[in-house]
Structure 1
Amino acid sequence: MPVTRRRLFGVLAGVGALIGVPPLWMSRMKTYDGSVSDHFDGLHFFDPDGVPPKSLGEVFRWQFGGGRQRATWPDWAPSPYADTPPARVDGDKVRLSFVGHASWLIQAGGLNILVDPVWSMRVSPVSFAGPKRHNDPGIAFDKLPRIDVVLVSHGHYDHLDIATLSRLAKNFAPRVVTPLGNDVTMRGADPTIKAEAFDWHARVDLGSGVAVHLVPTRHWSARGMFDRNKALWASFVLETPAGKIYVVCDSGYGDGKHFRRVAEAHGPFRLAILPIGAYEPRWFMRDQHMNPEDAVKALLDCGAQAALGHHHGTFQLTDEAIDAPAMALVEALDAAKIPQERFVAMKPGQVVEI
């Protein structure tokens, strides 16, 4: 297929959601300025146990190289579920509602916590191109309870959505806890967003017996062509009255050491939330996104009692079919001789209580 100007722009907008390649004029943003550490060289963050992100040349090889097999998703794939959450959840219970993709409402200790909230129609640097929703959020925005805290894992557009964060700031003014540098992005776009930035291994007290740890994960970050790895990325460990919950929003598997180290430092876990989608083609995605087989290994490495699968079925970021992750998860669990009920692929609007 010839690379027309229109198609090229669409590719840049779409891939920008995933790997940070938006138009040049959106790339010259303020970035983090801090002290050198074992994962920050004074300009860029890095994972000592990871690999660098793919080059722009490799992006074009994936998008325009011969032999690409990109599955066609249905225009609209509604979930059979929709949730209207309670105002609060108290006591020793935790209620988790899957909004879609990597977005969750977690209610615990009387607090309402959103993870990587995205209510926008597209995850893209522009509103008219890039990955578009294939189903509604599992909770309508006007059905949300008062939000106290927002956790944002990193700066990719399918996780850090300025439009949604601005709506939340206007309606609820929540605390926004995020890794270093993403606060600069948020406040630069909207000064009313109450962003607080923390490094890996920080513990943040959220009140009411709930706290969050920011832990290393095998990923990277960018929102433009000139800010790759200039903001940090993380997974989260939530301390709740019902036990610890390990929330992985985006991660490759590698050799599994990230998951084993988190288990050693923070386990045991009552529950893990693990990504299972956006993984094809493997030569391109392996280092940044797990497939279901990897996610099952991650479950075994972290030792959680149970797991919920997310990061699939809402935005087509990669080449696999819309239902491929859920089907592959069943096969991976069978191959590992793990009961299917221990690791469930979620659909928007589904609710789990522990």
Structure 2
Amino acid sequence: MGNRYYQGPVSDHFDGETFFNPGGTPPKGFGDVLKWQLRGDRADWPDGVAVTQVVPDMRVADLRVTLVGHATVLLQAGGVNVLIDPVWSKRVSPLSFAGPARVTAPGIAFANLPPIDVVLLSHNHYDHMDIATLRRLHDRFAMPVITPLGNDTILRDEVPGIDARAGDWGDVIKVADLSVRLLPAHHWSARGTRDRRHALWCSFAVETGAGRIYASGDTGYDAGRPYDAGAAHGPYRLAILPIGAYAPRWFMKGQHQNPEEAVAGFRTLGARHALAMHWGTFRLTDEARDEPPAKLRKALAESGISDETFRAVAPGTAWDVPA
């Protein structure tokens, strides 16, 4: 069939048709998906959780990070405004009427966004690549989107005229007074049933006027290999790390780290501070909504790290990250 999104040379993470995690575990198959779904061990979630939305400043001279919800983060650093994996839609699904729905409103109303200079898009799963939101952002800001290989093809097909700039792991893309390095993550990709691993996934190391930021995107811990790669490009003032969507472990371990692994990754990176994301907005997996931050607090205490250093905050929380 061939790759729908990318044609390029074979590498240590591309076999000529599909991308893969070097030395890592591949994603589970359809039989495992059925096994998981039929077990019915999902914790109940609330239908809705109140959010106090914040109206951000237009520009921030130093470093401020605001959790919008799930993996969507507004990063304001050295006067530059960056959105990471922006999702303002009600559902993260190929269907408008079915699939995981929000239990929290976005922490920033779309109309109140400051001027967005660049979007960082880590991969093409629906809870990270939301085409409806990206169309709205393009229409309003016409900003560049930095993304790994193959995702630029999807974006150009879906959002005519979008400035999509793709890179491989290790590439550096300079934009809006930022230097953005694409780094390995342990994950996979698909928008449907016939494009599995046809586009790459990544983490980002971002050099800003307010210091270096590490944004992991979605990742499994993978014996710490993504963090070993990230640490080589630090030190970081802030790391943005996932802590949720990890249960059941037999199914999710290869693609989503748990809070204990997030703390281990934080220590490997040597970051001064961290923001937890990828929890509490969409029920994707089996754990209870409030379990990831509780497990994070416990793991931090066991590691002697303050929960003010590695914070799990509600959507709409703006954090001025200490120097």
* TM-score, with structure 1 as normaliser: 0.88
Amino acid at match of 1:262: G
Q: Over aligned residues, Cα RMSD in angstroms?
A: 1.5
**Please, which of 179, 185, 188 is the counterpart of residue 220 of structure 1?**
188
Q: Indicate conservation of the 8 Å contact 1:30/1:185, yes or no.
A: no
Could you tell me how far 1:127 is from its partner in structure 2? 0.3
Which range moved further: 326-335 or 174-183?
326-335
Q: Match for residue 122 of structure 2? A: 153
Match of 1:232 in 2: 200
Q: Which residue of 2 aligns with 1:72?
A: 44
Change (3 A) 1:193 1:107: same
Q: Which amino acid aligns with 1:290?
A: Q
Q: Distance in 2 between matches of 1:177 and 1:307?
A: 22
Q: Which residue of 1 aligns with 2:99?
A: 130
CA deviations 1:242-287 (Å, max 9, x no partner) are 2111101211112112202210x20111111110000110100011
Structure 1 pair 346/138, CA: closer, same or farther in 2 (3 Å)?
same
Q: How far did 1:74 drift?
A: 0.6
Secondary structure of the structure 1 residue equivalent to 2:68: strand
What percentage of aligned pairs have identical amino acids?
Answer: 54
Which amino acid is 2:259 matched to?
P
Amino acid of the structure 1 residue aligned with 2:53: A
Q: Distance in 2 between matches of 1:237 and 1:308?
A: 15
Segments of 5+ residues of structure 2 without an aligned counterpart are none
Per the alignment, residue 15 of structure 1 pairs with none
Q: 1:109 aligns with which of 78, 95, 104?
A: 78
Give the aligned partner of residue 279 of structure 1: 246
Q: 2:188 corresponds to which letter in structure 1?
A: W
Match of 2:21 in 1: 47
Whether the 8 Å CA contact 1:204–1:212 is kept in 2: the answer is yes
Q: Distance in 1 between matches of 2:79 and 2:179?
A: 13
Q: Deviations over 1:117-165 (max 9, x none)?
A: 0000000001000000001100000000111111100010000000000
CA shift, 1:59, in A, is: 0.3
Aligned residues: 321
- Equivalent residue of 2:192, what SS? coil
> 2:227 and 2:207 mapped to 1: Cα distance?
17
Give 1:29 shift.
9.2
Q: Which residue of 2 aligns with 1:19?
A: none
- Of 250, 261, 271, 2:229 maps to 261
Matches of 2:303 and 2:64, distance apart in 1: 28
Q: Which runs of 4+ in 1 moved over 3 A?
A: none
CA spacing shift, 1:62–1:336, aligned 2, 3 Å: same
SS at match of 1:114: strand
Superposed CA offset, 1:308-350 (max 9, x none): 1110000000011110101111111112222222211121111
1:199 aligned onto 2:168? yes
Distance apart, 1:306 and its partner CA: 1.3
Asked whether the 8 Å contact 2:183–2:229 carries over to 1, the reply is no
SS of the equivalent of 1:266 reads: coil
CA distance in 2, matches of 1:259, 1:122: 30
Indicate which of 314, 318, 322 corresponds to 1:347.
314
Q: What secondary structure, in the 3-state scheme, does the structure 1 residue paired with 2:102 have?
A: coil
Task: State the alpha-carbon separation in 1 of the partners of residues 312 and 60 from structure 2.
Answer: 24
How much has 1:169 moved relative to structure 2?
Answer: 0.7
Where 2:223 maps in the other structure, the secondary structure is coil
* TM-score normalized with structure 2 length: 0.96
1:316 counterpart = 2:283: yes
Q: Is the 8 A contact 1:166 1:192 kept in 2?
A: no
Match of 1:88 in 2: 59
**Gapped runs of 5+ residues in structure 1?**
1-27
Q: Is the Cα–Cα contact under 8 Å of residues 30 and 188 in structure 1 kept in the other structure?
A: no
Provide the residue aligned with 1:174 in structure 2: 143
Q: Which of 331, 334, 339 is the aligned partner of 2:298?
A: 331
